[in-house]
Copies of this chain bind each other. A is one copy, B any other.
């Protein structure tokens, strides 16, 4: 192979993913040069911490605390943003774009929330913007949607897209343990953040869902409107009851295309055990996509971690390098179509959606409670398919589990509020949607 001048990459953020990128670009450099058509090298790295040893050899001259100097370096063609969060990440990304650099980022929050502004800048500057690493870690799901499925119309997307939540739910199920206990252990093992709210409250999943919906359906990002419920209140009892009924509880990110509105929601969901998504365990991710012509497809892999996520970053870098060798104009817009062609649709309120639910109440076992509870449900048009009552002992609090027929969201939330105020009911009533038809 003729010796070619290498393409130079600047890294902003030298944490877990950043050191993975440096490691892989080195370990696979021959293979990557074969596939990209030219060698790729990290020319400069900016991080506030330039002292800590990341376990990858880097020439000290390449390390700086000054991100803007990396962005301004005329020898650098691609800027990789791995800082995360909104600021200063957005400022750096916009500066790189306006400076004519191709940008690769793993920043789902930034893209989901400020994506329109950033894509507008990228389209205007005529640069490439890759964010494969922002959803599904190493699973090339965004590329699959943009380049693998463009001949079809995607109808629905169901994703297990947060490895921390999936690890916690899987461990709770396997070991019969409670949420708080497993979360603390996960934090100790480095599988959950010290401040885990973004993960366990479903916010990270909602960010990813917004990006999946935008690419799949060609709609503007809708993250602020996505009804989002995390896994804090899922109990070992609910998981055990789910198993008894033939389901596994997963934090699912669901989006469905519609004519006047899209459906997009993140919440704990009962997935039938026969469905492939039920078998996605531990910190793995999977995205199940239903196409009008293609039918169901599923994409499975590690949703996080230094090296898996680094492979997604590098795939974007290679794509940018391949494209720019051919033409200054980007081959494909960041959203898979020009931003001005995206449809602007609202997200349907949970109030207007129908579904089948698992309901669990903690009731004092005494005469009349069940009757009054049934009365409230009836008043809100909620009909019950089956009831399970375990471990009855007069005067104590016992779980009362029900499976509803199809109910309307508005009715359900009103009924639950009323039941929560009932005498003889302890704690907050629990409702978990059953997705019988994941198709």
Contact = CB atoms under 8 A, between A and B. Distances in A.
Given A144-B148, A149-B140, A34 B313 contact: no
A218 B301 contact: no
Interface stretch (A91-99, A110-118, A329-337, A381-389): A329-337
B138 A315 contact: no
A318 B32 contact: no
A143 to B, nearest CB: 5
A294 B138 contact: yes
A131 to B, nearest CB: 14
A307 B294 contact: yes
A139 interface: yes
By size class, the interface of chain A is 35 or more
A295 B299 contact: no
Given A276-B279, A301-B294, A311-B291, A151 B331 contact: no
A314 interface: yes
A159 B140 CA distance: 18
B297 A139 contact: yes
A315 B146 CA distance: 9
A227 interface: no
Interface string A298-314: 11111000011011111
Contact of A322 (B276, B300, B331, B341): B331
A218 B293 contact: no
Contacts of A140: 144, 147-149
B151 A34 contact: no
A152 B25 CA distance: 9
A61 interface: no
4 closest A-B pairs by CB: A140-B148, A151-B314, A297-B301, A293-B307
27 contacts: A20-B293, A28-B151, A28-B153, A34-B338, A132-B148, A138-B291, A138-B293, A140-B144, A140-B147, A140-B148, A140-B149, A144-B148, A147-B147, A149-B311, A150-B314, A150-B315, A150-B318, A151-B314, A151-B318, A279-B279, A294-B307, A294-B308, A296-B301, A300-B300, A326-B326, A326-B327, A331-B331
